[in-house]
Structure 1
Amino acid sequence: MDVEELIARHPQVFHTMSATAWPSLQRHGLLSTRQLIDVFGLETRERDRLLSAPRK
C-alpha cells in the first residue's frame, strides 16, 4: 500500500493514550519519545534504553 492509498482508506488518524496523560498532553502537546525524554530530563542510561528498544 502506498501513501496515497493509505490516506484514501484512512483519511483520519487517532492517537490513543492513558487518561492520566491528559494533563501532560494539555501542557506540552503531543510529543515524540525523544521530546518527552528531553522535557522530563531522564538520565543518559534510561534515555538510551528507551530510544534503542522497541516499545509496545
Structure 2
Amino acid sequence: MAGEQKAKAKMEEAKGKTKETVGRAVGNEKMTAEGRAEKAKGSARQAKEKTKDVFKR
C-alpha cells in the first residue's frame, strides 16, 4: 500500500510540473498556478509517506 501511495505522489508531482511548464510556455497563468498546486500536493504527499516510513522503523 505504501508503495502505491509513493508512486501516486510521484506521478502527481510530475503531472503538476508538466502542467506548470506547459502553462508557462503558452502564457496561461491559470494553468501555471494549477500545476504549481498539483506539484506542491504531490510533494506534501511524498513527505507524508517518508514520515510514515521513518516511524515504521
Larger radius of gyration: 1
Query: Does the alignment reach a TM-score above 0.5?
Result: no
State the TM-score, normalizing by the size of structure 2.
Answer: 0.24
TM-score, with length taken from structure 1? 0.25
Higher helix share: 2
